[in-house]
Amino acid sequence: MSAMLEVKDLVVSYGKIKAVKGISFDVEQGSVVSLIGTNGAGKTTTLRTISGLLRPTSGSITFEGKDITKVAAHDIVSLGLAHSPEGRRIFPQLTVRENLMLGAFSRKDKDFDGDLAEIYELFPILEERNNQPAGTFSGGEQQMLAMGRAMMSRPKLLMLDEPSMGLSPLMMKRIMSTVSTLQQRGTTILLVEQNAQAALKRATHGYVLEVGKIVLEGSGSELLASDDVRKAYLGED
Ligand code: ATP
């Protein structure tokens, strides 16, 4: 059986600069796949291309057997692929609830109560602050909101771009444990992180990206044990 998401020979350029230089990887249904790498490795570019926000120079992206390489971003959301972007991109003047509802724009049904209840159960602070503008929130709260907004589209595959960025160790733990909870509840996750330790600990499979190329892949535990990963990403000698 083929993987839920198949990325093949993907090349993405900004003008003459190639940011992603021919990468291939798969995300199996039910898994957590982590894409790790330092600043500028091409992680965000890869996610934005899968979401339809950028167009590749060449290569293909297949989701549940359908070629989505040229599908419009809003139609990709409707197919069940949601993206929680780097930097969270929440709307500061809008309330928590209004931000969450933006995530449901692609849905034809209007039965949102169950989804909101699930998000509030995962992140009780969002329910407490339901009617407050999101601009006053801490980084961790904004991350919860960004994840909640992505969940409102009922994704089969949720892509998270650096959810741990700028968070305290405690908040990071909280966010990462939610990733595991979502996986247990049936959502497949593609996780992009600079924090290799946190991302690989939970990964079914991981890929290491360096200047636009995949240089290493393996199970989360294999990569965590690898000397190359330990030296380059975990600061060990
Ligand atoms: P970060 O953790 O900093 O987000 P990343 O691994 O996500 O890093 P990308 O943001 O995908 O990396 O960047 C990959 C390369 O593409 C970098 O060299 C970056 O400078 C370049 N790049 C990214 N966005 C643009 C843009 N809008 N215009 C030109 N070059 C860009």
Q: How far is the CA of 187 from the centre of ligand 1 (A)?
A: 27
Please report the pLDDT score of residue 218 as a whole number: 96
Residue with tokens 């339809």: 52
Q: What average pLDDT does the chain have? A: 91
Q: What is the DSSP string of 17-38?
A: EEEEEEEEEEE-TT-EEEEE--
Cα-to-chain-centroid distance, residue 17: 24
Residue 113 has pLDDT above 90, yes or no: no
- List pLDDT tens digits, range 44-73: 999 999 999 999 999 999 999 999 999 999
DSSP 156: S
Sheet of 205-210, strands arranged across = 81-84, 157-161, 188-193, 32-36, 205-210, 213-219
Query: Mean pLDDT over residues 112-128, rounded?
Result: 91
Residue 83's contacts (CB-CB under 8 Å, 6 or more residues apart) are 47, 48, 50, 51, 53, 150, 159, 161
Taken in order 38, 63, 76, 80, is the CA torsion positive or negative?
Answer: negative
* Rounded Cα gap, residues 37 and 42, in angstroms: 8
Q: Which atom of ligand 1 is nearest to the CA of 194?
A: 2
* Rounded Cα gap, residues 185 and 138, in angstroms: 27
Q: Return the SS3 of 163.
A: coil
Using pLDDT thresholds of 50, 70 and 90, give the confidence band for residue 208.
very high
- Axis-axis angle for helices 139-151, 169-184 (nearest 10): 10
* Rounded Cα gap, residues 223 and 147, in angstroms: 26
* Rounded Cα gap, residues 194 and 161, in angstroms: 10
Please report the pLDDT score of residue 171 as a whole number: 87
Mutation pick for ligand 1 pocket among 11, 34, 45, 160 (CB with most ligand atoms within 8 Å): 45
Please report the pLDDT score of residue 228 as a whole number: 86
* Rounded Cα gap, residues 123 and 233, in angstroms: 30
The pTM is what?
A: 0.93
Residue 231 has pLDDT above 90, yes or no: no
Query: Mean pLDDT over residues 4-26, rounded?
Result: 97
- List pLDDT tens digits, range 80-99: 999 998 878 888 889 999 99
Q: How far is the CA of 41 from the centre of ligand 1 (A)?
A: 7
**Residue whose CA is closest, atom 30 of ligand 1?**
14
Structural contact between residues 202 and 195, judged by C-beta atoms closer than 8 angstroms: no
pLDDT > 90 fraction of the chain, expressed in percent and rounded: 69
Please report the pLDDT score of residue 1 as a whole number: 65
Please report the pLDDT score of residue 236 as a whole number: 67
* Rounded Cα gap, residues 136 and 142, in angstroms: 9
